[in-house]
Amino acid sequence: MSKKNLLIMDDDQDFGEYIKAIAEANDYNVFYLADSSSFIEHLHNHKPDLIILDLEIPNVDGVQLLRLLKDENCSCPIAITSALDDKIVLSAQRLGLLHGLDMLPTLQKPIQVQDLDSLLKKIGKTCEVTPKQLSRAIAEKKLIVYYQPKVSLQNGQLVGAEALVRWQKEDGSFIMPDSFIPLAEECGLIKKLTLLVLEKSLQECASYYSKKENFLTSVNLSAKLLTDLQLPNELEEFTKQYQVDPANICLEITETAAMSQPLQAIDILTRFRMKKFIVSVDDFGTGFSSLALLHRIPFNELKIDKKFIKNIAEQKDLITTVQEMITLGKNYGYKITAEGVETKEDLLTLRNLRCDIGQGYYLGRPMPIQQFKTWEENILNHEWRTTLL
Ligand code: C2E
Ligand code: CA
Ligand code: CA
């Protein structure tokens, strides 16, 4: 495999050297720049696989560089690194997302070696698979669906499951969705993939659990599918085939997808609602949309992004933000789900904030259907259950 290229833009030389050493140990060619004068030239000449960008650089700052990267139609993943206040860094990262750039999670200085290491290892993984392999895996139904429990924070009941796709290779190893969903979207395979995930979810999960009252099986819908006007009819046909009421199926659409094509989103999602499907705003909080705008689209549920939920118990700022999302969301009539609940403390904080539903590793990891059923049979013995009751 050829080496990957890393472009570092940071005026702190010691920091640059530190990153360089770790990246070289991970088999990267490293191009380090202490000022931005030749940044664009390097971008063209070295076609980086990853850009690590400091916000505070003399003359042209990091925010201005994000604008330049947008003008260059840059598709390279970008990680912002900074010692500035969290809020400023997060705001710059969101700005990058709004520019349509491939923004990675931010790297707060001082950077931990293991965080950087795992970031460097992740880069370029999408290239591991080819469209042909993916197309074959879909045709041969080699994709597997895992189910992650959704739990009522008020009474500890199981209220649903999110279907999350995985691809199991011949050697038994798994490829995670972030490594092949973008490829499926790029090469026109996302519809087939979604229909396969829906079919498996209906067959394995929804047809079994929808006999219980109020159980929702959630399936992710890619932004690319919001232009497909046939979709509501096709999904309805599938539910008929498996004798599942669409009212037991929830379709998750990311906030940015819904807001970037609001007209199409209103059209398609209204028709889904007319057919009784439940629709949910996924990754809420990662875009800039206000609830007043989102409310034009007939959503039933808001899923607060895990970025706001992880370690919430320890962060006053996050508690205030999430409290506001929950109060406003409820005023608009949404059910509120928090994803990324990883600890007991976070769970209790969310319950106290009167969040309706929780999803996350502390409650239950995504798992194959058999394991999910065993998890449910043992629901009374889980630690989180005692925490809630
Ligand atoms: P998502 O829809 O936001 O799904 C939640 C992701 O967060 C899942 O990652 C899940 O495993 C992970 N997660 C759950 N609980 C926790 C937690 O407590 N902490 C942390 N750190 N993470 C948690 P996964 O399965 O890798 O999926 C990643 C993304 O891939 C999904 O994000 C979704 O956007 C996409 N995806 C997965 N399956 C499908 C699919 O069938 N169709 C489409 N279009 N996209 C899918
Ligand atoms: Ca989701
Ligand atoms: Ca999400």
pLDDT in tens, 251-280: 999 988 888 888 888 999 999 999 999 999
Q: Burial code of 64-76, b = ≥16 C-beta within 10 A, e = fewer?
A: ebbeebeeeebeb
Q: 27: which DSSP letter?
A: T
The pLDDT of residue 125 is 58
Residue 301 has a pLDDT of: 97
Q: Which residue has the tokens 């949404």?
A: 334
For the CA atoms of the chain, what is the radius of gyration?
A: 22
- Sole residue written with tokens 């997302």: 97
- Nearest ligand, CA of residue 341? 1
Please state the φ and ψ torsions of residue 302, each to the nearest 5 degrees.
Answer: -115, 130
What is the number of the ligand 1 atom nearest to the C-alpha of 252? 2
Q: Could you read off the pLDDT tens digit of each residue along the chain, which spans 389 residues?
A: 578 999 999 999 999 999 999 999 999 999 999 988 899 999 999 999 999 999 998 888 999 999 999 999 998 999 999 888 888 888 898 888 888 888 887 888 888 888 888 888 888 654 567 888 899 999 998 899 999 999 999 999 999 999 999 998 888 888 999 889 988 988 889 999 999 999 999 999 999 998 887 899 999 999 889 988 899 999 999 999 999 999 999 999 998 888 888 888 899 999 999 999 999 999 999 877 788 888 888 999 999 999 999 999 999 999 999 999 999 999 999 999 999 999 999 999 999 999 999 999 999 999 999 999 999 999 999 999 999 98
Long-range pairs for 14-17 at CB < 8 Å and ≥24 separation? 15/54, 15/109
Residues with CB under 6 A from ligand 1: 148, 164-165, 176-178, 181, 194, 197, 220, 222, 252, 282-283, 306, 339-342, 360-361, 366
What amino acid occupies position 238? F
In the chain, count H helices and then E strands: 18, 14
d(CA 42, CA 69): 12
CB 148 within 8 A of CB 371: no
Q: Please give the Cα distance from 64 to 52 (Å, whole number).
A: 15
CA distance 210 to 203: 11
The crossing angle, in degrees rounded to 10, of helices 39-46 and 62-71 is 40
Distances (CA, A) of 42 to 30, 38, 63, 68: 11, 6, 18, 13
3-state class (DSSP) for residue 303: strand
- Dig out the tokens for 132 from the structure: 């042909």
C-beta of residue 301 within 8 angstroms of C-beta of residue 331: no
**pLDDT number for residue 279:** 97
User: 147, 162 in Cβ contact below 8 A?
Assistant: yes
The bound ligand whose nearest atom lies closest to the alpha carbon of 251 is 2
* SS3 category, 158: strand
Pocket test for ligand 1, best of 179, 219, 220, 310 (most atoms within 8 A of CB): 220
pLDDT of the residue at 1: 56
Four-CA torsion 296, 298, 303, 307, nearest 10 degrees = -30
With CA atoms as reference, report the closest residue to 325 among 362, 361, 290: 290
Is the overall model pTM greater than 0.85, yes or no?
Answer: no
SS3 of 154, please? coil
Q: Which residue's CA is the closest to the ligand 1 atom numbered 30?
A: 177
Distance in angstroms (rounded) separating the CA atoms of residues 298 and 281: 10
Ligand nearest to the CA of 164: 1
99: nearest Cα among 118, 134, 74: 74
